[in-house]
Amino acid sequence: MFLAKIWFFLVALVAAVAITIALVLPRPAQRVLVQEETQRLVVACGVIDILLGDDARNRVELAGAFSRTQEIVTALESASGANTIDEARMKQVREVGESVMKTIQGARKPDFAMLIDRRGRVVARVRLDENDFGDIAAGRPLVDDALAGFLRDDLWAQNGTMYFVSAAPVIRRDPPVAYVGAIVLGHQVTNALATKLVSSLNVDVGFYLGKDDVAGSKNIAVDHGPLLDSLKTLQGGDLDQDCQAAKPIEISTGKEYYNAVVARLPGEAALKNAFYSVLIKRPEAVGFMGTLKAVSQSDLGATKLLWPIVGGLFLVMLVGGIAFMYLESDRPLKRLTADAVRLAKGEKERLGEDEHPGKFGSIARSVNIAIDKLGREAKTAKKDLDQLLGPAPEGSLGTIDLLATSLPPARPGGPAPAVSPPPSDFRFHDPGPAPSRPATPPPIRPGTPAPVPPAMTSRPPVPPSQFSAPPRAPTAPPVMSLGDSLDDDILGSVTPAVPAAPMLDLGSAGDVDSYFKSVFDQFIAMKKSCGEPTTGLTYSKFSEKLEKNREDLIAKTGCKEVKFTVYVKDGKAALKATPVKDE
């Protein structure tokens, strides 16, 4: 899998580089876009300042034309000569002002007019606070300059709003020439005015008095705090430089974000923090997803993207990956599978380790190690089983000698005649009830047949001559423990074989116990007949050994049941187990 891993590493590396490029490339574009938007914002602010200047000149010219009207000159000259301004004179002058305002054509008609005599008294007001008259307007810079003969404009804050105002002196042209008063025309700062200012700029503008919104090209409820903080940074008396000096800031409406610059407004309204702000909606971050959203169908055209090259590279990577996977994974796996099938069929004993490269060779070695281990365990188990059970005699499943062990080179009393074991196909068809075990078995003298349990009387006894044994020197009988092999300590005279125990009935656990007791009684009787000691040989150990061997044989051979046979082998009592598959 080395080549496949290297290939996938290279593919992953190329993919990582491509993703990194895709994620990084939009960032420079985003910076350029922000810079362009900032520059457009500053330029729009300068343009609005220029448009406000042009509008101021137009308003001043309108005020000059208004003041030169003969009706206005005559009315203010008459009012200037009166000691007091009464209501009758106010209404007369107001009617004159209204008639003159009706003659003004165009969209920039004044929203109000003030007619002031040469003493600075307000003779009449038109369209705004019309019932107020007689108050002194002199002292305001705009009015004083107009009474002094200057044309001027200003910005007033009145009644919660702002007005662009312009003033012009009223001069009697007939000799002697004299200033007879002044007029003030006001244009309210409205949403229509703001919309007109930015109609060709693709930005928004808002006019503010401190924290109060006055007008705007769009109803944008922005946070005034950042705007006022930016306004405080503007220093100096040159208001024309505010757009270049102000730094763009970010403001939020709660749902939308804007970039904005602020600039101060001149005149009396400046004392109330009058300013305007140019706003532009902050462009969405380009980023990777923004770039994807901005992709159009024309961007994916064949002339702008080399689709054949992209498709060819994709096919090369795909075919290369599949080829490496087949060479390093699929084909070796097929070989290992075929080798395992031959092993299962018995056509070979081991997997070929050198035939399978890499991890598949490791798998083959692991399997071979397991096979070797099982072989060693089988040999060990066979050796132990042969030592415990003896060789299997004839029969469909064979009979296993449970107590066959190697004998010492000599035994007391000399050699004993060999006695053939019972046939391997011997069975008990009528086990009958298990005989009760006597508390103390009666001693068996040489030449006397061994007692046989009632269930075993179906077989004729062996002639007594076969039970005789030559006299032997008295020796202390060895003590036998079932912890070792049952025949490790068995030495004695040759005795005839005792008939086999009846076949085990699987009816209940009591039948098993009674069967083992009958076998135990036969074995004790046979050992005594052979002159072997029985000290230390208890039924509990004996039955435990039989049960274990029975379970092992059933598990290994798959037989239905196991029958046990007591016989004489090499002058000693022996026990065989015969697997039974069916009745």
Number of Cβ within a 10 Å radius of residue 180 = 21
Residues 180 and 198 in one domain: no
Q: What is the CATH number of the domain that holds 212?
A: 3.30.450
Q: Look at the alpha carbons of 329, 331, 335, 340 in this order and tell me if their dihedral is positive or negative.
A: positive
Residue 306 falls within a domain, yes or no? yes
Do the Cβ atoms of 566 and 574 come closer than 8 Å?
Answer: yes
The DSSP string of 219-236 is -----HHHHHHHHHT--S
Which residue stretches of the chain have pLDDT < 70? 1-5, 21-30, 284-307, 381-510, 582-583
pLDDT of residue 14: 79
Give the Cα separation of 267 and 156 in Å (integer). Answer: 7
- In this structure, the answer to whether residues 34 and 138 fall within a common structural domain is no
Tokens read off for 570: 């090499």
Q: Are residues 44 and 72 in the same domain?
A: no
Residues 451 and 548 in one domain: yes
- The Cα–Cα gap between 1 and 10 comes to 14
> Is residue 1, in this structure, part of any structural domain at all?
no
- Residue 72 and residue 113 in one domain: yes
The count of domains in the chain is 4
Question: Looking at residue 206, what DSSP letter applies?
Answer: E
Burial string for 292-309 (b: 16+ CB within 10 Å, else e) reads eeeeeeeeeeeeeeeeee
Separation CA 459–CA 131 (nearest Å): 152
Given this model, what pLDDT does residue 21 score? Answer: 66
Task: Assess whether 438 and 475 both reside in one domain.
Answer: yes
Determine the pLDDT at residue 89: 92
Instruction: Return the amino acid letter for 34.
Output: V
Q: Smallest Cα–Cα separation from 244: which of 396, 458, 449, 43?
A: 43
Task: State the Cα–Cα distance between residues 276 and 231, nearest whole angstrom.
Answer: 10
Amino acid letter for position 241: Q
Cα 117 to Cα 83: distance, rounded to the nearest angstrom: 11
CB 11 within 8 A of CB 321: yes
- Does residue 23 form part of some domain? no
Which SS3 state, helix, strand or coil, does residue 484 take? coil
pLDDT digits (tens, 9 = 90+) for 394-414: 433 444 455 443 333 433 444
- The answer to whether residues 529 and 413 belong to one domain is yes
Do 496 and 449 touch, CB atoms closer than 8 A? yes
The Cα 113–Cα 577 span in angstroms is 135
Structural domain contains residue 409: yes
What is the span of the domain harbouring residue 461?
Answer: 390-580
Which of these three, 161, 188, 215, is where a domain ends?
188
Is there a contact between 549 and 562 (Cβ–Cβ < 8 Å)?
A: yes
Q: Is 567 found in the same domain as 419?
A: yes
Give the CA angle between residues 449, 453, 459 to the nearest 5°: 70
Helix ranges (H only) for 125-223 are 141-147, 191-197
pLDDT at position 250, please? 87
Which has the closest alpha carbon to 203: 243, 165, 239, 163? Answer: 243
- Cα gap 147→320, rounded to integer Å: 94
- Judge residue 465's burial from the number of C-beta atoms within 10 Å of its C-beta, 0-12 exposed, 13-18 middle, 19 or more buried: exposed
- Rounded Cα gap, residues 121 and 182, in angstroms: 10
Largest CA distance in the chain: 186
| Residue appearing with tokens 């002194």 | 136
**Are both 162 and 220 inside the same structural domain?**
no
- Is residue 85 in some structural domain? yes
Q: Are residues 451 and 560 in the same domain?
A: yes
Indicate the SS3 state at residue 280.
strand
Do 488 and 478 contact (CB within 8 A), yes or no? no
Cis peptide bond prior to 176, omega within 30° of 0: yes
Q: 347-376: string of b/e by CB count within 10 Å (b at 16+)?
A: eeeebeeeebeeebbebbeebbeeeeeeee
Q: How confident is the model over 30-77, as pLDDT tens digits?
A: 677 777 778 888 898 989 989 998 999 999 999 999 999 999 999 999
78, exposed or middle or buried, with CB in 10 Å at 0-12, 13-18, 19+?
middle
Domain final residue pick, 188, 219, 237? 188
Q: Assign residue 162 the CATH number of its domain.
A: 3.30.450.20
* Residue 55 domain flag: no
Tokens of 394: 């004839």
A 10 A CB-CB count for 176 gives 5
pLDDT of residue 492: 35
The answer on 175 and 34 residing in a single domain is no
In this structure, how many other beta carbons lie within 10 angstroms of the beta carbon of residue 516?
22
Q: Is residue 8 part of a domain?
A: no
Domain identity same for 462 and 536:
yes
Q: Are 48 and 197 in contact (CB under 8 A)?
A: yes
CA distance 304 to 294: 15
- On whether residue 292 sits in a domain, the answer given is no
How many whole angstroms separate alpha carbon 354 and alpha carbon 371? Answer: 17
Domain end residue (candidates: 382, 412, 433)? 382
Report which secondary-structure segment, H or E, holds 205.
Answer: strand 204-209
